[in-house]
Amino acid sequence: MNDSDSVDPIKPLVESLLKELGEDPGRDGLKRTPERFAKSMRYLTRGYSQDPREILNDALFDVTYDEMVIVKDIELYSLCEHHLLPFFGRAHVAYIPNGKLVGLSKIPRLVDMYARRLQVQERLTSEIASILDEVLQPKGVGVVIESIHLCMMMRGVAQQNSFAITSSLRGEFESDSKTRSEFMDLIRHQKPSFA
């Protein structure tokens, strides 16, 4: 929705939903809720309008560096595609360059882009690894995501202390146990205080 004068088509759907739930969309607290919800959903799913190759391609550099590069503890927020409830956590992304580096800030941007779609954690993990593998053609890629799912906490099994961990390992991260172990050890390492 780019035209600020038009009504977002999500707004009347939310009004209908509120009525269906037994609420009055015209009452004080809910008057602007359909509009706010529509704006929020557009923001939370903005990843659909972004191209991962555009994010990565403007920051690729030819290098001879061939050691593991890791960006860890990348905060992520997404919506579960099954219940439209949030899940959130952190991603740890690593790759072993094969002649190309990508600017470090592009990796969190990439994670955020895929997270800002309706997702399942398993696919999110795999999508990040796949695009890095495709664009960088590195010797290997490793992605681990740890997250808390409100759909497990607020409904269903109502597990308050559970969290999910998923991984996608490509190239040397999959085939070489030393590389895989080094990656797993490094992402467990606690960040020191730099202050």
CA atoms lying within 13 Å on the CB side of residue 171: 20
| pLDDT number for residue 194 | 62
**Residue 23 is a catalytic residue:** no
| pLDDT number for residue 189 | 79
Question: What's phi and psi for 194, nearest 5 deg?
Answer: -95, -5
Low-confidence ranges of the chain (pLDDT < 70): 1-5, 192-195
**Residue 81 is a catalytic residue:** yes
Catalytic member of 23, 137, 146, 151: 151
| pLDDT number for residue 195 | 60
Beta bridge partners of 88: 77, 148
Catalytic member of 23, 35, 50, 83: 83
DSSP state of 115: H
**Residue 189 is a catalytic residue:** no
**Residue 80 is a catalytic residue:** yes
**Residue 92 is a catalytic residue:** no
- The pTM (predicted TM-score) of the whole model is 0.92
**Residue 149 is a catalytic residue:** yes
- Sketch out the chain's domains with CATH numbers: 10-44 (no CATH), 52-188 (3.30.1130.10)
% of the chain beyond a pLDDT of 70: 95
Catalytic member of 75, 82, 122, 159: 82
Phi-psi group of 99: left, alpha or beta (phi > 0 → left; psi -120 to 50 → alpha; rest → beta): left
Catalytic member of 15, 92, 127, 149: 149
| pLDDT number for residue 5 | 66
How far CA 108 is from CA of 16, 63, 97, 130, 149, in Å, comes to 37, 21, 17, 15, 20
Catalytic member of 81, 122, 134, 159: 81
What would the pLDDT profile of 138-187 be if each residue is shown by its tens digit?
Answer: 999 999 999 999 988 888 777 777 899 999 999 999 999 999 999 999 99
**Residue 151 is a catalytic residue:** yes
| pLDDT number for residue 158 | 78
| pLDDT number for residue 4 | 59
